[in-house]
A and B are shown apart, each in its own frame.
Chain A
Amino acid sequence: MTTESTMTQSPTRARPARSVLAGIAAFGALGAYVLVSSVGLGLWTSLGPGPGLFPFAMGVVLAAMSVLWLLQELKRPSTTGEGADGGLVLAVVVSLLLLAALLDLLGFQLSMFLFLMYHLKIRGKRSWLSSLLTALAGSVGAFYAFNYGLNVALPVSSIPVLNLIGL
């Protein structure tokens, strides 16, 4: 490509990022949903403002701001924050979801021990000793500290065998 051809090209207009457009669409849709739902809740009653009045106002703000944001983006696309580390997000969110799903079934001690071992040994690549000690302190240690020290009951396993051995 020659210098001339570069100079004669019309400047390319920057476009809004896809994630920004998706965000605007999501907030716009939420605003529209709230507007419709709040009308159903009742904006005004014989006693005065109904339960839908305040949400209706918020729906208006959300919808109006989404439109304004879209106009701003079309005119001058904004930058977005740094992208997150996809692997980290997936690992943390999936492990947390599994932990939450297993808390009542396996009990706090066992599920938290597995959760911590995953983050320390597999993801963090810590040594076996360091991982085991930290995971035990964070699961069994935290369970006893909270249950007996702070009087805050953490869940125990709903599986009888595990429950019998104190998990």
Chain B
Amino acid sequence: MDTLNELLNGFAAALTWQNLIFAFLGCLLGTVIGVLPGIGPVAGVALLIPLTLNMDPTGSIIMLCAIFYGTAYGGTITSVLLNTPGEAASAITTIDGHAMTKMGKAGAALTIAAIGSFVGGTIATLGLVAAAKPLGELGLLVGPPEFFALMVVGISLLVALAGKSMVKALISGALGLLISMVGIDPVAGAPRFTFGMDRLLDGVSFVAVIVGVFGLSEILSYRKGESTVVHAPGFRSLLPTRNEWRRSAPSMARGTGIGFGLGLIPGMTGSVASLLSYGAEKKFSKHRNELGKGAVEGVAGPETANNAHANAALIPLFTLGIPASPTIAVLMGAFLQQGLTPGPTLFTEHSEIAWAIIASLFIGNLLLVLLNVPLVGLWTSILRVPAPILTALILLFMVIGAYTINFSVFDVFVMIGFGLLGLALRHLEIPLAPMVLTLVLGPLMERSLRESLEISQGDFSIFLNRPISAVLIGVGVLIICSPLLKLRKPKALMDDPET
């Protein structure tokens, strides 16, 4: 009953006109970011963090969450209409989504995707409501050694799943941790890796690094593409047939289950969820022979799965303080910048904010359906904006975003430097996801390691003497050693640009 009351209070806060506007703006911006092929959800959310710094924490996080799950739908529009995914999680939708466009069923594909996204997102949010209290209470029992071990598992999973080579993923993870250590040491107060520069005493700006590594490097790696002609589907063609509805329902159910389950596991991105959902359709769908030729199941399953994943991935963040994917890691950075520490204490110290954000997820999912289906023509018109104008405007927002973090030109230079680093990492095929995750988790991980060792007076066996941390460390080691056991990875994981 407590949970229901708190959720209702959350709705009361989320339904104020200011917060409704923030959710609406977030959905709008998220859809635009998802539509634009040049900018992914990680850079998109990071880019807009500075704009929310002056807002109250509730409105700010509501808007950023809406941007986050809005991108999951925006990417579908280009997948379906252009055969080009706006973001990685929608890549698999291109197969049947674009085939449906060629058959004159683009409208039905987009509507099914929107409804699937709503269903997956809403059910995953219900899961968050159910899990928040018990997991939060469990989380309160977790001490520094267990917390450290939990983060080891999260990072191990991401390292193991990111890219073709674990060696490169470990380099990426170590690089992120090193960047996070620039500045004043959190325990002894000693300056580290500041090269005598006062500006670096507060560390390297997280947002400038992310915008540089993910956003600017993406623009720097553009290659001349073919011009595309986009035709928006007419309003009448938006309604799927009764048969399409009937065929989509089981796919949505499977997509929800897969997306929700994978959202709870750190390291699993939305792309993995949509890929596995497509695999499930190939195995279980009654019309599996039509997959690849314009089957509605190929749109309904993956699109439901990636939105269920996006919302379920908030569960480990809210309850344990562990970001499950790179975009969630950026969101966690935004929480920290607002003075909110995600994790079990969020529900004890900032209960009203936590529940308002959860309630806004329901509202945002509904807003997305209302925004996306009737306005599909508007979204496709964004794609007709000439590339030089889009690139120039994206660069403009990157500069504003980097500058306004500390109102300092230094951060613009930081962004440019990390843009070049990101370009080099992309060229060397070093995955970017472990870096962003360790960048956020680095300070927390170091603090919990040092607190644990202080408790044990320097005895490292503390991690093995406590059952929960021993099991978690064991799981982490097993994951890192999995290549020795020659465990196979799905191919698409390797091709995921987000990782």
- Assess whether B174 is in contact with A48, with CB atoms less than 8 Å apart: no
B347 interface contact, C-beta 8 A: no
Give the contacting residue for B427; candidates A50, A81, A115, A124; CB below 8 A: A81
- Assess whether B171 is in contact with A152, with CB atoms less than 8 Å apart: no
Instruction: For the complex, give the distance between the alpha carbons of A112 and B399 in Å.
Output: 9
B345 interface contact, C-beta 8 A: no
Instruction: For the complex, give the distance between the alpha carbons of A20 and B175 in Å.
Output: 17
- Assess whether A51 is in contact with B188, with CB atoms less than 8 Å apart: yes
CB contacts under 8 Å to A, within B263-319, are none
- Assess whether B223 is in contact with A62, with CB atoms less than 8 Å apart: no
- Chain A, residues 47-71, CB within 8 Å of chain B (1/0): the string is 1111111110010011001101100
Instruction: For the complex, give the distance between the alpha carbons of A47 and B193 in Å.
Output: 22
- Assess whether A103 is in contact with B392, with CB atoms less than 8 Å apart: no
Interface size class of A (residues with CB under 8 A): 35 or more
A163 interface contact, C-beta 8 A: no
- Assess whether A81 is in contact with B389, with CB atoms less than 8 Å apart: no
B403 interface contact, C-beta 8 A: yes
Most buried by A among B168, B171, B178, B392: B392
Instruction: For the complex, give the distance between the alpha carbons of A104 and B411 in Å.
Output: 13
Instruction: For the complex, give the distance between the alpha carbons of A79 and B163 in Å.
Output: 13
Give the contacting residue for A89; candidates B190, B220, B404, B407; CB below 8 A: B220
Give the contacting residue for B457; candidates A48, A82, A155; CB below 8 A: A48
Chain A residues near B339 (CB, 8 Å)?
A: none
Known: A48-B454, A51-B187. A83 touches B399 (CB 8 A): no
- Assess whether A80 is in contact with B428, with CB atoms less than 8 Å apart: yes
- Chain B, residues 438-451, CB within 8 Å of chain A (1/0): the string is 00000000100110
CB contacts under 8 Å to A, within B44-95, are 50-51, 54
A129 interface contact, C-beta 8 A: no
A14 interface contact, C-beta 8 A: no
Instruction: For the complex, give the distance between the alpha carbons of A153 and B53 in Å.
Output: 12
- Assess whether A89 is in contact with B423, with CB atoms less than 8 Å apart: yes
Residues of A contacting B: mostly: helix
Give the contacting residue for A41; candidates B50, B190, B399, B413; CB below 8 A: B190
Chain A residues near B188 (CB, 8 Å)?
A: 42, 45, 50-51
Give the contacting residue for B392; candidates A89, A104, A119; CB below 8 A: A119
Chain A nearest CB from B453 CB (Å) reads 5
Instruction: For the complex, give the distance between the alpha carbons of A37 and B453 in Å.
Output: 22
Chain B residues near A65 (CB, 8 Å)?
A: 167-168, 170-171, 174
- Assess whether B392 is in contact with A138, with CB atoms less than 8 Å apart: yes
A1 interface contact, C-beta 8 A: no
Give the contacting residue for B412; candidates A55, A66, A96; CB below 8 A: A96
Known: A89-B423, A142-B400. A78 touches B165 (CB 8 A): yes
Known: A49-B449, A62-B175. A97 touches B416 (CB 8 A): yes
Chain B residues near A66 (CB, 8 Å)?
A: 171
Known: A48-B454, A72-B167, A116-B392. A82 touches B223 (CB 8 A): yes
Instruction: For the complex, give the distance between the alpha carbons of A126 and B216 in Å.
Output: 22
CB contacts under 8 Å to B, within A82-99, are 82-85, 88-89, 92-93, 96-97, 99
Chain B nearest CB from A135 CB (Å) reads 8
B429 interface contact, C-beta 8 A: yes
- Assess whether B175 is in contact with A83, with CB atoms less than 8 Å apart: no
Chain A residues near B165 (CB, 8 Å)?
A: 69, 72, 78
B224 interface contact, C-beta 8 A: yes
Give the contacting residue for B181; candidates A55, A99, A146; CB below 8 A: A55
Known: A100-B416, A142-B396. A152 touches B54 (CB 8 A): yes
- Assess whether B177 is in contact with A48, with CB atoms less than 8 Å apart: no
Known: A55-B181, A85-B222. A154 touches B403 (CB 8 A): yes
Give the contacting residue for B388; candidates A54, A119, A150, A154; CB below 8 A: A119
A34 interface contact, C-beta 8 A: yes
Known: A27-B171, A48-B454. A120 touches B392 (CB 8 A): yes
Give the contacting residue for B429; candidates A78, A119, A152; CB below 8 A: A78
Chain A residues near B219 (CB, 8 Å)?
A: 92
- Assess whether A124 is in contact with B407, with CB atoms less than 8 Å apart: no
Chain A residues near B454 (CB, 8 Å)?
A: 47-49
B426 interface contact, C-beta 8 A: yes
CB contacts under 8 Å to B, within A18-38, are 19-20, 23, 27, 30-31, 34, 37
- Chain B, residues 214-231, CB within 8 Å of chain A (1/0): the string is 001001111110000000
- Assess whether B396 is in contact with A81, with CB atoms less than 8 Å apart: no
CB contacts under 8 Å to A, within B155-194, are 164-165, 167-168, 170-171, 173-175, 177-178, 181, 185, 187-188, 190, 192-193
- Assess whether A54 is in contact with B181, with CB atoms less than 8 Å apart: yes
- Assess whether A62 is in contact with B174, with CB atoms less than 8 Å apart: yes
- Assess whether B386 is in contact with A124, with CB atoms less than 8 Å apart: yes
Chain A residues near B446 (CB, 8 Å)?
A: 54
- Assess whether A58 is in contact with B178, with CB atoms less than 8 Å apart: yes
Chain A nearest CB from B222 CB (Å) reads 6
- Chain A, residues 115-138, CB within 8 Å of chain B (1/0): the string is 110011001111000100010001
B257 interface contact, C-beta 8 A: no
Residue of A nearest to B54 (CB): A151
Chain A nearest CB from B237 CB (Å) reads 32
30 interchain pairs, CB-CB under 8 A:
A23-B430, A27-B171, A27-B175, A34-B193, A37-B193, A44-B458, A48-B453, A48-B458, A52-B192, A54-B177, A55-B181, A61-B171, A61-B173, A61-B174, A62-B171, A65-B168, A65-B171, A69-B165, A72-B167, A78-B429, A85-B222, A89-B220, A96-B216, A101-B409, A103-B409, A124-B388, A138-B392, A146-B404, A152-B404, A153-B407
What 7 pairs across the A-B complex have the smallest Cβ distances? A124-B388, A51-B185, A100-B412, A119-B392, A48-B454, A61-B174, A54-B446
